[in-house]
Amino acid sequence: MNRTTFFLLSTSIFLLGACRNDVKEVREVSDSPRNYPLNEQIGATITYSDSGQKMLEIHAGLVQDYGNQDPAYVFFGDRIRVQFYNGKTLTSTVLEADTARQLKDDDLWAIGGNVVLTNGKGERMKTERLYWNKKEERLYSDAKVQIRTDGQLITGKGFEADQEFNTYRIFKVQGEITIDDE
């Protein structure tokens, strides 16, 4: 056996021995990441429209798309602000919170942390948890709520309203309510 053949044979044996893979390491590398967003935006503004008409505008410090999860969802963090539109005009309804999570298939939103909802009449609702069914244009909560209106404070547990917070119901109501006798 000449030197060249011996060198090639020994190099091949060395390389074959070095090409062994740990099955655990291969799985870790080849598994698709399940806990990471598909994409992430910082300082995002998202506009929803229908037939060319702006319906709402969302401002969020952080938006993460978890379309790779089951169920698929979008996470909004670092404060979220939703402004509602009626055709070309901005309504006075504004929804603000710390975070939100939108289930993509159902368009159902879970909104949490320092939730404040304000309408054009100056009524302001505060809660820690609010749900928004965007398809049905309905807001609701099973948590404690406070609504301040015309100097009155109404509290309760549970709430439902249209998405622009123009008409609403409070459940398990507490507080003083002044009624004008005309």
Q: Nearest to residue 56, comparing CAs of 106, 105, 107? A: 107
Q: Domain boundaries in the chain?
A: 37-170
- pTM for the model: 0.74
Confidence bin at 53 (pLDDT 50/70/90): confident
What's the rounded Cα separation, in Å, for the pair 94 and 85? 10
Q: Which of 154, 182, 178 minimizes the C-alpha distance to 168? A: 154
pLDDT tens digits, residue range 83-129? Answer: 988 766 666 799 999 999 999 999 999 999 999 999 888 899 999 99
SS3 16: helix
CATH class held by domain 37-170: mainly beta
pLDDT for residue 174: 80
pLDDT of residue 175: 67
Q: Can you tell me the distance from the alpha carbon of 129 to that of 3, in angstroms, rounded to the nearest whole number?
A: 78
| CA dihedral sign of residues 57, 63, 67, 73 | negative
- Strand bridging mode 124-133 / 138-149: antiparallel
Mean residue pLDDT of the chain comes to 84
> Is 165:125 a contact under the CB 8 Å cutoff?
yes
Contact present, 147 and 125 (Cβ < 8 Å):
yes
Q: What is the pLDDT of residue 182?
A: 62
Look at residue 55 in the predicted model and tell me its pLDDT: 84
